[in-house]
Amino acid sequence: MLHTDGTGVPIGMLVASAQQAEVRLAEATLATMQVPGRRGRPRTRPQRLVCDRAYDSRRWRRQLRRRGSGCCIPARRLPPHTTRKRRGRPVGYQRAVYARRYIVERSFAWLLATRRIVVRWERRLEVYRGCVLLAMAMMCLKRLVQ
């Protein structure tokens, strides 16, 4: 999982096995995020978090509210053959904010340009994490040079 700022620079990352749901790893990924400020302790709470439909759950929204972070998560679509209606107030999201989610997808594309990350050759998680960190460093250096 990857957290980026508004320009696409990675600020937090978590590498885990492929058998876990992303929404369960999201809190641990937020704990890895650190944004240095002018002075004092680095910030670990984003002002707003933009996620896709996979993160649509009451529990995740409640955790974000406790952290003091805003969220922009569209509601999950129900399959067309179900007749069950969603209960409660509909969850709203700002389309203009969600439209900027392409920045995160672009960062994933930059990161996955490295073949070693796309095809996971390493068996050990620590080695794979090191490869991802190296690819992220190369991505940030490329952005600095331009």
Average pLDDT, the chain: 81
Name the phi and psi angles at 53, rounded to 5. -65, -20
Q: Residues near 55 by Cβ (< 8 Å), separated by ≥ 6? A: 22, 23, 26, 73
Q: Give the end-to-end CA distance of the chain in Å, rounded to a whole number.
A: 26
Coil, strand or helix: which one is 105? Answer: helix
**pLDDT for the residue numbered 83:** 61
Q: Which residues, in sequence order, are bridge partners of residue 90?
A: none
Name the phi and psi angles at 66, rounded to 5. -65, -35
118 and 126 Cβ atoms separated by less than 8 Å: no
**pLDDT for the residue numbered 61:** 87
**pLDDT for the residue numbered 98:** 77
pLDDT digits (tens, 9 = 90+) for 85-131: 666 655 566 777 777 888 888 888 888 888 888 887 888 888 988 98
Domain ranges of the chain: 2-34+45-145
At residue 16 the predicted structure's pLDDT band, cuts being 50, 70 and 90, is: confident
Overall average pLDDT of the 29-49 stretch: 81
Over 80: is that where the pLDDT of 33 sits?
A: yes
DSSP alpha helix (H) spans, the chain: 22-32, 58-67, 95-98, 102-111, 115-118, 125-145
At residue 74 the predicted structure's pLDDT band, cuts being 50, 70 and 90, is: confident
CA 76, CA 86: separation in Å to the nearest integer? Answer: 10
